Structure 1
Amino acid sequence: MTTTRSSTPSGTMTIGEIIGAFATGEPPLRIEAYDGSAIGPADSDLVLRLKSEKALQYFVTAPGDLGLARAYLMGELEVEGVHPGAPRDVFGSLEVFRKTMTRTPDARTLLRIARSIGRENLTVPPIPAQEVPPAWKRVVSGLRRHSKERDSEVVSYHYDVSNRFYEWILGPSMTYTCACYPEVDASLETAQENKYRLVFDKLGLSAGDRLLDVGCGWGGMVRYAARRGVRVIGVTLSKEQVEWGRAAIEAEGLGDLAEVRLQDYRDVPERDFDAVSSIGITEHIGRKNYHDYFSKLHGYLKPGGILLNHCITRPDNAGKVKAGQFIDRYIFPDGELAGAGTVHVEAENAGFEVLHEENLRPHYAMTLRDWCANLVEHWDSAVEEVGEPMAKLWGLYMGACQYGFEHNKIQLHQILAVRLADEQTWDRPLRPWWQP
């Protein structure tokens, strides 16, 4: 291990030595501390710098991604060698740091660390204003987890940031879900349009049909289908999304066919839809609610109606479903992910027959790559609009997700399912009827 040591009192450890005590091997990047000590290869393209004692406090009081995020957002941790708004490389560096700093030192070393740090550095320093309480403490007006009122609060926390901020990141489509790239070098806008085309075709929609889009966001799918003569209702819990979506519908002259409502998907009064699209909402509803969720969507469809469920999943069906501390405390409070097999089973248990499913994991990594590039391009404007801590937070989050999709920590699955007619039959072609 390449470590630079500075002079310290007998028996105490340099910051580099303390960090090294948690390492499982040689870190693949340079880590430098405020006391002049360092660990890792001297010729690394990226240097992770702990700027002050507070950076170490964040690390030792909340090991893992939460402490790293706190230190980064509070300006006590920085990465050199990249643009300050280049979130992919920043998170890649932080993720490498987290992955290689996982060993628990022995008791004697822990005692030396405590003595070296000092009692005053074992207390939690100020945390960023954006952080919500831990799950066990989280009480939103005394509301039950995944109640309608609490879900509304959580959605507002994530999405009601700034429509202008989202426009800079997402581009003209204002689509905050995985795109589908027809070619590797396709633009983000082309890929998002292709995603909507894929959903539309999989659902077998045509002019005159009725579509319900749950978790409709800014109304991208709503407008895509309405342009093709489909009558569409979209529902979301975000006030800013509704405002933006309604304005876009009016601007395109689609008011006779398209509607975006501020409404919980559980409260839609209409029934007998030809199709339901659910693009990016399953992540918010909670694993225990999957059966009720799919049962509700089943009830919205007429016999023979089709559901497309598009959601982020885990690569297995046996592990945890709750998000890590960083995602839960800063991005998606109460968010949960399960494996695609779990989603598949719950759809079937609610009465659906699953016709087709596919994994779009590489497409989401590319989507996040393009969102991160947009943030870098508009960094100064984004900071002016929402402040540097919020811009850094979203860069860190999107970079984290890009890393996750690239390394199969998370996946994206589309599941196509049908509500069978009473005779347990359905009128569909024998083979997939859409183009990939």
Structure 2
Amino acid sequence: MTLEKNHDQQERTQGMPALEQLPPGPRTAVSAAVARRLFRAAVARLDVTVVEEPSGRCYGRGGPLMRLHRPEEFYARVGRDGLIGFGEAYLTGAWDAEDLAGFLTVPAARMATLVPEPLQRLRALVTPRLPSHQRSTEANSQANVAHHYDLSNDLFALFLDETLAYSSALFDTSVRPAAQGPGSVADHLVATPPEPSDDPDPTLHHPDLAEAQGRKFERLLDEAGVTAGTRVLEIGTGWGELAIRAARRGATVHTITLSVEQLELAEERIAAAGFADRVRVELMDYRALAATGATYDAVLSVEMVEAVGHEFWGTYFGTIDRVLAPGGRVAIQAITMPHDRMLATRGGHTWINKYIFPGGFLPSVEAIDQVTRGETTLRLTGQLAMGSHYAETLRRWDRRFLAQRDAVLALGFDDLFVRVWHFYLAYSQAGFASGYLDVSQLTFGREDG
């Protein structure tokens, strides 16, 4: 199915769910009391400092500071809505932290053990499920994508570098072989963490970030074997940087997206670079590719599998398998989580789903390997893990986003939006800095190729 552009359906609104008022009553009181006890017990084991106002009571073993401005609201929101309530209590100002990412990194590193194991077994009973309208079906996917990527190209340009790459950069560091465990990829490398770098004026572009983004793209193109004459498919256009670089190598590119805003700017950037004759950008769901009958020598995708949904991973990789020509190669960049955490959280509704990426869910590398082995002829042959590089990328984005607050407001967004996005960027940074999340470039081939 090729989709038509429809600007009437793509309202450029902030798309924020309303912050609900907490209903009074026994349920709220009881759940708040349980949350208070669990939270204090967890904090007592963490290297953080939590101060409750106005009493000044402190918890934790010392470390990044969190202030509970309105403790009763905080515990009530956490008690009723868990981690979604934790994030929403930040949005309302019930709590704050001067170093938000620094504070969040500490519990993120202990995420699997913060809640006692007997209570973790009850997770499925208390965790809200992903709403049916957010499942990444063909009917829902464009709306899911539009919620985030069609906010405003001008917004993203405020905090991204000039490549407009909205994915992890790869800074200039060494790589080393990863420790090999059962089921490890033979060619499994880990990128050495980059050194944090702060420009005196965060509103300016950082040349080294653009260089690092270029390094990421060029490595993916190398892994996929893209040279002159290569027929390239890109799933998830972004703002066109990978397609431009592939065309610069002499490849012909078919790149697909579900974002109207990204498509229009990508076409402009591709034309300005002089490659309109080599690159075709199309508004299309990846599931429609098999029906076209086209085949490609290389398939690339950057941080798109996270939007597919776990029910459709087989469809996604099966589609790639069908359109990949004999001897072809696949290179994707994917955000991942540990396999056990993926299994524990699968199907749940999170703060990120509610406010940032409807329908999104992170795979594990093990799950990707299982799906491709079980349902396709693709085989995972290489992995470069670079989660520390995403932590640094996000730190820079967040710093620049906050420095551009007035410009964000001038685009028509409000203070709540700024707070939502600061929490999103800091929350994500904490995930990678703690090692709870990772991002990898994954290379696939065929056993016969």
TM-score when normalising by structure 2: 0.74
Q: 1:411 Cα deviation (Å)? A: 1.5
Say whether the 8 Å CA contact 2:128–2:349 is kept in structure 1.
no
Cα gap change, 1:103 to 1:383, in 2 (>3 Å): farther
Using the TM superposition, name which of 47-56 and 183-192 deviates more. 47-56
Q: Which residue of 1 aligns with 2:351?
A: 326
Q: Larger radius of gyration, structure 1 or 2?
A: 1
Give CA deviations for 1:364-396 in whole Å, capped at 9, x if unaligned.
Answer: 222212222221332332243322212221221
The equivalences for 1:37-116 within 5 A come to 37-40=56-59, 46-51=65-70, 53-63=72-82, 65-79=83-97, 81-82=98-99, 87-89=100-102, 91-92=104-105, 102=115
CA distance in 1, matches of 2:139, 2:391: 32
Say whether the 8 Å CA contact 2:298–2:328 is kept in structure 1.
yes
CA distance in 2, matches of 1:235, 1:222: 10
CA distance in 2, matches of 1:88, 1:261: 37
Say whether the 8 Å CA contact 2:303–2:334 is kept in structure 1.
yes
Q: 1:146 aligns with which of 119, 125, 136?
A: 136
Paired-residue identity, %: 25
Confirm or deny that 1:31 pairs with 2:54. Answer: no
Cα gap change, 1:199 to 1:42, in 2 (>3 Å): closer
Cα gap change, 1:328 to 1:192, in 2 (>3 Å): same
Q: 1:414 Cα deviation (Å)? A: 2.1
Q: Which amino acid in the other structure matches residue 262 of structure 1?
A: L
Q: Which residue of 2 aligns with 1:384?
A: 410
Q: Which residue of 2 aligns with 1:225?
A: 246
Give CA deviations for 1:259-281 in whole Å, capped at 9, x if unaligned.
Answer: 22211112232512110002111
Confirm or deny that 1:339 pairs with 2:357. Answer: no
Q: 1:51 Cα deviation (Å)? A: 3.6
Q: 1:311 aligns with which of 315, 334, 338?
A: 334
Q: Which residue of 1 aligns with 2:373?
A: 348
2:269 alignment partner, SS class: helix
Using the TM superposition, name which of 289-298 and 347-356 deviates more. 347-356
CA distance in 2, matches of 1:134, 1:324: 5
Q: 1:66 Cα deviation (Å)? A: 1.3
Q: 1:166 Cα deviation (Å)? A: 0.8
Cα gap change, 1:54 to 1:94, in 2 (>3 Å): farther
The equivalences for 1:284-295 within 5 A come to 284-295=307-318
Say whether the 8 Å CA contact 1:16–1:38 is kept in structure 2.
no
Larger relative contact order (C-alpha < 8 A, sep ≥ 6)? 2
Give CA deviations for 1:318-369 in whole Å, capped at 9, x if unaligned.
Answer: 7333466212222222222222022122223301133322322222222212
Give CA deviations for 1:152-207 in whole Å, capped at 9, x if unaligned.
Answer: 11111121111111112222111111211113358211110000110111111111
Cα RMSD (Å) of the superposition? Answer: 3.3
Confirm or deny that 1:173 pairs with 2:163. Answer: yes
CA distance in 2, matches of 1:383, 1:41: 36
Say whether the 8 Å CA contact 2:108–2:434 is kept in structure 1.
no
Say whether the 8 Å CA contact 2:305–2:334 is kept in structure 1.
yes
* Aligned positions, number: 373
Say whether the 8 Å CA contact 2:295–2:325 is kept in structure 1.
yes
CA distance in 2, matches of 1:42, 1:335: 34
Structure 1 unaligned segments of length 5 or more: list them: 1-11, 105-132, 427-436
Say whether the 8 Å CA contact 1:323–1:335 is kept in structure 2.
no
Q: Which residue of 2 aligns with 1:367?
A: 393
Q: 2:218 aligns with which of 181, 194, 197?
A: 197
Q: Which amino acid in the other structure matches residue 168 of structure 2?
A: C
CA distance in 2, matches of 1:334, 1:412: 19
Q: Which amino acid in the other structure matches residue 160 of structure 2?
A: L
Confirm or deny that 1:407 pairs with 2:397. Answer: no
Q: 1:240 Cα deviation (Å)? A: 0.9
Confirm or deny that 1:252 pairs with 2:242. Answer: no
Q: Which residue of 1 aligns with 2:185?
A: none
The equivalences for 1:237-248 within 5 A come to 237-248=258-269
Q: 1:224 Cα deviation (Å)? A: 1.1
Structure 2 unaligned segments of length 5 or more: list them: 1-28, 118-126, 174-193, 198-207
2:338 alignment partner, SS class: coil
2:379 alignment partner, SS class: strand
